[in-house]
């Protein structure tokens, strides 16, 4: 793969491998512990169907190189969208100036790993012809409209991206990756007797666009979005207060992402700003909970052959049977904490600095039948779909917003309730998990995680699980 990427990314700018050494040599030197250069070239194509017509298509190009120099805890960073050698040298000069300010302290750096392919190095933009993409959008729309006369508006988005990266580091790493990513989202608005509601569904992964035509997956999304909108149309006001909550499998794993995932990222723990800092080896969850971050799942949205520092991704056990076992690390934080990178060094693009980020974060399956879990609740909430979430990693408080939820009454799922925000405390919430289902599912592949202004694609997952007490932000 390295040859392909060198040829497509470096050769047009007249760059060869020895030029990378030249830039790195230029970066290194007095008081610089580590430096790397990150080349990226991306293409993305997005189509939108609305009002029954494919009214918009957009194509975007991104290309450039980010250059980083690290001296102790300090980082200097510059980037350029011009890949010629003089521009790279100029950016390197700018980045390495960091060593001249403040105090310096030496660090050791971790090594990268070997190659492996979790997804095809293909350009997904070309995997369906433009006519076929448009036909697919229309099929999905018609499927949605066919479901119910209440459907007023259907918006379908289809996005395919092709990302080529190459990393050269002063630790000897020289690796590349070709990363396809596709996604489809369906948004429907329904109207009945003057009431209006919405439903959404989406899916995707590091694969090709026929992902949506095979097994009629696109049509499933249409049906699911309408189903959810119709459920919301008859939803009653959500309850307010603390009660048991049963979370469905898959996407509700956003709970783990917010409640503990961010809090276990290496940078926050090195700096002591996370509610989980200094708690390694302690109990932070009930013994039923084992949570991992796994960048090695085939074709998943959060998966990567290597992270953006050239480190092979891995499965990292974060919590094992309730005990805190590991943090997610990039090279810089790992070396400052005296551990190895876990392959979680990610960046939004060449124009952003890498930092520890999640890949696919999920809880392993337990022993309970999901029906048994629901049956164990007298009065509570069953939440199966969520919008976004947010966490304050210092106080540990987190929220996530249910977009499809039902009451549980006397052990049975009954009336749908309106969307409501759920709030809890990260270090406490997993201690309140009293039942874990045997039905582990990963989400459908639509997650976007934001941190310090940088967005990266991620995955989440979990089996059905019961939290004995969570605060539900309803109105009655």
Partner 1 sequence: MRAFDHKAKYTQLRQLVEDVLKEAGRQGASSAEVAAHSNMGLSATVRLGEPETIEHTRDNSLSISVYMGRHKGAASTAELSAAAINEAVSAACSIAKYTAEDPFSGLADADLMATEFPDLELYHPWDIDIEEALTMALECEAAARDYDPRITNSEGATLNTGQAVGVYGNTHGFVHGYPSSRHSLSCSVIAQQDESMQRDYWYTTARSATALDAAAGIGERAAQRAIARLNGRKLKTRHAPVLFRAEIAGGLLNSLIHAISGSALYRRATFLLDALDTPIFPEWVNIEENPFVMQGLSSAAFDAEGVTTSRRKLVVDGILKGYVLSSYSARKLDLQTTGNAGGVRNLSIQMGDQDYDALLKTMHTGLVVTELMGQGVNPITGDYSRGASGFWVENGEIQYPVEEITIAGNLKTMFQQLVAVGNDDDYPGSTRTGSWLIESMMIAGE
Residues between 182 and 201 that touch partner 1 (CB under 8 A): 189, 191, 196-198
Q: How far is the CB of 428 from partner 1 (least distance, A)?
A: 10
User: What character string, x for contact with partner 1 (CB under 8 A) and - otherwise, covers 100-139?
Assistant: -xxx--------------------------xx--x-----
Q: How far is the CB of 394 from partner 1 (least distance, A)?
A: 4
CB-based contact 446:457 (threshold 8 Å): no
What SS3 class is residue 362?
Answer: strand
Q: How far is the CB of 472 from partner 1 (least distance, A)?
A: 6
The answer to the question of residue 53 lying near partner 1 (CB under 8 A) is yes
The H or E element that residue 199 is part of is strand 195-205
**Six token digits for residue 366:** 């337990």
Render 248-307 in DSSP notation, one character per residue: PSSGGGHHHIIIIIGGGBHHHHHTT-STTTT-TTSB-S-TT--EEEETTSTT-TT--SB-
Q: How far is the CB of 393 from partner 1 (least distance, A)?
A: 8
Nearer to partner 1, 64 or 295 (CB): 64
The answer to the question of residue 423 lying near partner 1 (CB under 8 A) is yes
Q: Total binding residues for partner 1 by CB under 8 A?
A: 80
The answer to the question of residue 419 lying near partner 1 (CB under 8 A) is yes
Nearer to partner 1, 45 or 294 (CB): 45
Measured distance CA(429)–CA(255) in Å, rounded: 9
The CA radius of gyration of the chain, in Å to the nearest whole number, is 24
Which member of 9, 24, 76, 308 binds partner 1 (CB under 8 A)? 76
Residues 54-73 binding partner 1 (CB under 8 A) are: 54-64, 73
Q: How far is the CB of 425 from partner 1 (least distance, A)?
A: 6
Measured distance CA(214)–CA(380) in Å, rounded: 38
Q: How far is the CB of 102 from partner 1 (least distance, A)?
A: 4
Stretch in the footprint of partner 1 (CB under 8 A) among 52-60, 292-300, 304-312, 366-374: 52-60
Q: How far is the CB of 401 from partner 1 (least distance, A)?
A: 4
The answer to the question of residue 97 lying near partner 1 (CB under 8 A) is yes
Residues 274-333 binding partner 1 (CB under 8 A) are: 275
Q: How far is the CB of 59 from partner 1 (least distance, A)?
A: 4
Q: Angle between the 85-96 and 17-27 helix axes, to the nearest 10 degrees? A: 20
Nearer to partner 1, 411 or 473 (CB): 473
Measured distance CA(328)–CA(182) in Å, rounded: 26
Other Cβ atoms closer than 10 A to 134: 17
What SS3 class is residue 1?
Answer: coil
Q: How far is the CB of 117 from partner 1 (least distance, A)?
A: 28
Residues 150-179 binding partner 1 (CB under 8 A) are: 152-153, 155
CA 80 vs CA 13, 77, 351: distances in Å: 13, 11, 8
Nearer to partner 1, 258 or 441 (CB): 258
Nearer to partner 1, 321 or 418 (CB): 418
Residue the block writes with tokens 């006519």: 131
Other Cβ atoms closer than 10 A to 459: 28
**Best CA proximity match to 246, nearest among 431, 372, 360, 427:** 372
Nearer to partner 1, 2 or 240 (CB): 240
Residues 342-401 binding partner 1 (CB under 8 A) are: 351, 353, 387-390, 392, 394-395, 397-401
CB-based contact 192:232 (threshold 8 Å): no
Measured distance CA(302)–CA(287) in Å, rounded: 27
Q: How far is the CB of 359 from partner 1 (least distance, A)?
A: 23
Nearer to partner 1, 300 or 352 (CB): 352
Nearer to partner 1, 372 or 428 (CB): 428
What SS3 class is residue 395?
Answer: coil
**Six token digits for residue 396:** 């540990």
Stretch in the footprint of partner 1 (CB under 8 A) among 30-38, 94-102, 107-115, 433-441: 94-102
Q: How far is the CB of 440 from partner 1 (least distance, A)?
A: 26
- Interior angle at CA 268, CA 92 and CA 433, nearest 5: 145
Nearer to partner 1, 288 or 391 (CB): 391
Measured distance CA(248)–CA(288) in Å, rounded: 16
The answer to the question of residue 77 lying near partner 1 (CB under 8 A) is yes
Nearer to partner 1, 321 or 397 (CB): 397
**Best CA proximity match to 373, nearest among 461, 257, 467, 472:** 467
- 3-state SS record for 319-350: EECCEECCCECCHHHHHHHCCCCCCCEECCCC
Q: How far is the CB of 159 from partner 1 (least distance, A)?
A: 14
Nearer to partner 1, 229 or 373 (CB): 229
Measured distance CA(69)–CA(413) in Å, rounded: 56
Residues 218-237 binding partner 1 (CB under 8 A) are: none
Which member of 123, 421, 438, 454 binds partner 1 (CB under 8 A)? 421
């Amino acid at each position: 793969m390295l040859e392909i990427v060198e040829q497509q990314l470096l050769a047009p700018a007249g760059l060869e491998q020895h030029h990378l050494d030249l830039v790195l040599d230029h970066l290194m030197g007095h008081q610089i512990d580590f430096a790397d250069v990150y080349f990226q070239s991306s293409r993305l194509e997005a189509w939108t169907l609305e009002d029954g017509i494919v009214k918009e298509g957009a194509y975007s190009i991104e290309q450039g190189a980010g250059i980083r120099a690290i001296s102790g805890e300090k980082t200097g960073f510059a980037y350029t969208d011009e890949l010629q050698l003089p521009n790279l040298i100029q950016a390197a000069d700018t980045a390495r100036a960091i060593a001249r300010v403040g105090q310096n302290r030496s660090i050791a750096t971790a090594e990268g790993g070997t190659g492996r392919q979790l997804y095809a190095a293909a350009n997904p933009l070309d995997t369906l012809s433009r006519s076929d993409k448009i036909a697919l959008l229309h099929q999905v729309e018609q499927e949605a409209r066919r479901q119910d006369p209440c459907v007023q508006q259907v918006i379908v988005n289809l996005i395919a991206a092709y990302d080529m990266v190459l990393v050269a580091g002063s630790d000897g790493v020289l690796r590349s990756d070709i990363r396809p990513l596709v996604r489809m989202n369906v948004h429907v608005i329904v109207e009945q007797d003057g009431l209006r509601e919405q439903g959404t569904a989406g899916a995707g992964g590091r694969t090709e666009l026929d992902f949506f035509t095979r097994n009629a997956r696109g049509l499933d999304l249409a049906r699911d979005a309408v189903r959810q909108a119709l459920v919301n149309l008859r939803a009653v006001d959500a309850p307010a207060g603390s009660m048991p909550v049963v979370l469905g499998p898959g996407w509700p794993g956003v709970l783990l992402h917010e409640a503990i995932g961010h809090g276990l990222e290496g940078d926050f723990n090195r700096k002591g700003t996370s509610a989980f800092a200094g708690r390694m080896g302690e109990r932070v969850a009930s013994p039923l909970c084992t949570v991992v971050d796994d960048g090695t799942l085939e074709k998943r949205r959060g998966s990567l052959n290597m992270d953006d520092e050239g480190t092979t991704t891995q499965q990292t056990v974060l919590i094992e049977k309730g005990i805190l076992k590991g943090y997610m690390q990039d090279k810089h934080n790992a070396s400052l904490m005296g551990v190895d990178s876990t392959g979680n060094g990610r960046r939004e693009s060449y124009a952003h600095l890498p930092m520890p980020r999640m890949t696919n974060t999920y809880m392993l399956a337990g022993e309970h039948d999901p029906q048994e879990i629901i049956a164990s609740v007298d009065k509570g909430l069953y939440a199966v779909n969520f919008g976004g979430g947010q966490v304050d990693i210092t106080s540990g408080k987190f929220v996530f917003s249910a977009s499809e939820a039902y009451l549980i009454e006397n052990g049975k799922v009954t009336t749908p309730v309106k969307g409501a925000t759920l709030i809890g405390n990260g270090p406490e919430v997993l201690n309140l998990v009293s039942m874990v289902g045997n039905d582990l599912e990963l989400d459908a592949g639509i997650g976007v995680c934001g941190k310090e202004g940088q967005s990266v694609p991620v995955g989440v997952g979990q089996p059905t699980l019961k939290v004995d007490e969570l605060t539900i932000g309803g109105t009655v």
